[in-house]
Every structure is written in structure tokens, then in C-alpha cells.
């Protein structure tokens, strides 16, 4: 498997540009997780400590997501909500961000393969 590139890829169906692979290459694993945590903190409801539909709708413009519809935002919360509580905790958010980045998912396979090879 080839090492992942450091270029942003665009999802043609959504027009979303995936910058996580670039961030991962520049920041490393710990730095990327730190930035994802910062993103979580920007989007979360500060009283509840989780990302709710309302907090996502209110704060999404901070991350350039102001054009997403209410349905898109609800789908994001639903897709990442593994425990079924209707909100995203920090771990669910980070997992969702990785799942939404096909190139980063491919890269994680590369790093796993590399780890087992040594």
C-alpha cells in the first residue's frame, strides 16, 4: 500500500474538501487529535459538554459549514451518535471525522500495516 498523499481531496457529491489528510501530515497523530478536540470544543454545547443539533447549527459557521441544511446537520449528529443519546461526545465526534475522510481512513490502514510489518 502506498503512503497517503498530503493533498486535499474533494467529495464530488457534497463539494466538501477533505483537509484532514493534510492536517495529519503536518501535525502528526497527536496534533491532529488535538485539533479535532479543538473543533469539538467550538461546536459543543458548553453547558451539556456534547455536540447537539442546536449547538451544531449555532456554531457550524465557525468551521465554514454555514451552508449545510438542518437535515444535513441532523444526519451528521445521527451518523456519529453511537450511544443513541441524540448528541456527540468527544470520542464520537473524532471517530465521525475520521469516517468522513476516506483518504485518512486509507492512511490509517497504511500505518496499521506498517506497524505489523516491523
Domain boundaries, the chain: 18-115
The domain at 18-115 falls in which architecture? Orthogonal Bundle (1.10)
Average pLDDT of span 73-81: 94
The pLDDT of residue 48 is 97
Average pLDDT of span 59-76: 88
- pTM score of the predicted model: 0.68
Could you give the CA distance from residue 89 to residue 66 in angstroms, rounded to a whole number?
21
Whether pLDDT at 72 is above 50: yes
Could you give the CA distance from residue 110 to residue 38 in angstroms, rounded to a whole number?
26
Could you give the CA distance from residue 4 to residue 85 in angstroms, rounded to a whole number?
35
Could you give the CA distance from residue 108 to residue 73 in angstroms, rounded to a whole number?
26
The pLDDT of residue 21 is 66
Amino acid at each position: 500500500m502506498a503512503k497517503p498523499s498530503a493533498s486535499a481531496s474533494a467529495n464530488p457529491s457534497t463539494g466538501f474538501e477533505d483537509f484532514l489528510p493534510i492536517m495529519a501530515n503536518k501535525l502528526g497523530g497527536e496534533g491532529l487529535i488535538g485539533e479535532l478536540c479543538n473543533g469539538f470544543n467550538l461546536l459543543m454545547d458548553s453547558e451539556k459538554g456534547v455536540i447537539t443539533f442546536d449547538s451544531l447549527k449555532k456554531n457550524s459557521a465557525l468551521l465554514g459549514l454555514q451552508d449545510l441544511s438542518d437535515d444535513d446537520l441532523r444526519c451528521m449528529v445521527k451518523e456519529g451518535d453511537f450511544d443513541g443519546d441524540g448528541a456527540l461526545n468527544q470520542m464520537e465526534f473524532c471517530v465521525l471525522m475520521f469516517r468522513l475522510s476516506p483518504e485518512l481512513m486509507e492512511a490509517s490502514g497504511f500505518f496499521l500495516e506498517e506497524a505489523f510489518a516491523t
